[in-house]
């Protein structure tokens, strides 16, 4: 009997089928993993900006920095102000910085955020100007939790 070494056509088809099934299961898991990572980064960025706004507000209330105009309710005029720094009270050279940089929204890829002031409706998507009380993502779409990114 003459036997050749190698694979039969049936063995190759079975192996290819098993690999195809494994790949079709793995791809959605990787895709969900990437979205989950972006959502975690978005939450972290929003928390970082909001903490900086709150730190600015507290420093202004405690008169550690040059107070903003009264109509701003002790909130910054822009996010850039948190990065550039604000003169400390009683100093002409020392500045207090609240952010190192404006974080990049992981879904839009830009350091641009929707802004709200304290007089705006909490669900508003237009900024009334004046001061920054809150931020939200400008990304379209809905998170894995079913809530649109603009409402995070």
In tens, the pLDDT along 29-86 reads: 777 888 999 999 999 999 999 999 999 999 999 999 987 877 778 999 999 999 999 9
Q: Is residue 4 part of a domain?
A: no
Q: Is residue 2 part of a domain?
A: no
Q: Is residue 1 part of a domain?
A: no
pLDDT, residue 57, reads 94
Q: Is residue 23 part of a domain?
A: yes
Parent domain of 24 = 9-151
Strand pairing report for 114-116 and 134-136: antiparallel
pLDDT, residue 1, reads 54
Domain count, the chain: 1
pTM: predicted TM-score of the whole model, two decimal places: 0.78
Q: Is residue 39 part of a domain?
A: yes
Provide the pLDDT confidence category of residue 2 given band limits of 50, 70 and 90.
low
Q: Is residue 42 part of a domain?
A: yes
**76: closest CA among 110, 102, 108?**
102
**Cα–Cα distance between 130 and 95 in angstroms, integer?**
22
Q: Is residue 53 part of a domain?
A: yes
């Amino acid at each position: 009997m003459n036997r050749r070494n190698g694979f039969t056509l049936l063995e190759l088809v079975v192996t290819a089928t098993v690999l195809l099934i494994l790949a079709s299961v793995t791809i959605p898991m990787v895709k969900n993993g990437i979205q989950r990572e972006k959502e975690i980064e978005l939450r972290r960025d929003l928390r970082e900006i909001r903490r900086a706004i709150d730190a600015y507000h507290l420093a202004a209330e405690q008169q550690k920095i040059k107070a903003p105009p009264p109509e701003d309710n002790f909130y910054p005029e822009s996010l850039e102000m948190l990065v550039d720094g604000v003169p400390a009270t009683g100093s002409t050279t020392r500045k207090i910085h609240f952010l190192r940089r404006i974080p990049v929204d992981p879904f839009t890829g830009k350091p641009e955020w929707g802004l709200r002031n304290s007089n705006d409706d909490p669900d508003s998507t237009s900024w009334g100007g004046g001061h920054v009380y809150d931020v939200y993502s400008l990304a379209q779409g809905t998170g894995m939790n079913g809530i649109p990114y603009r409402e995070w």
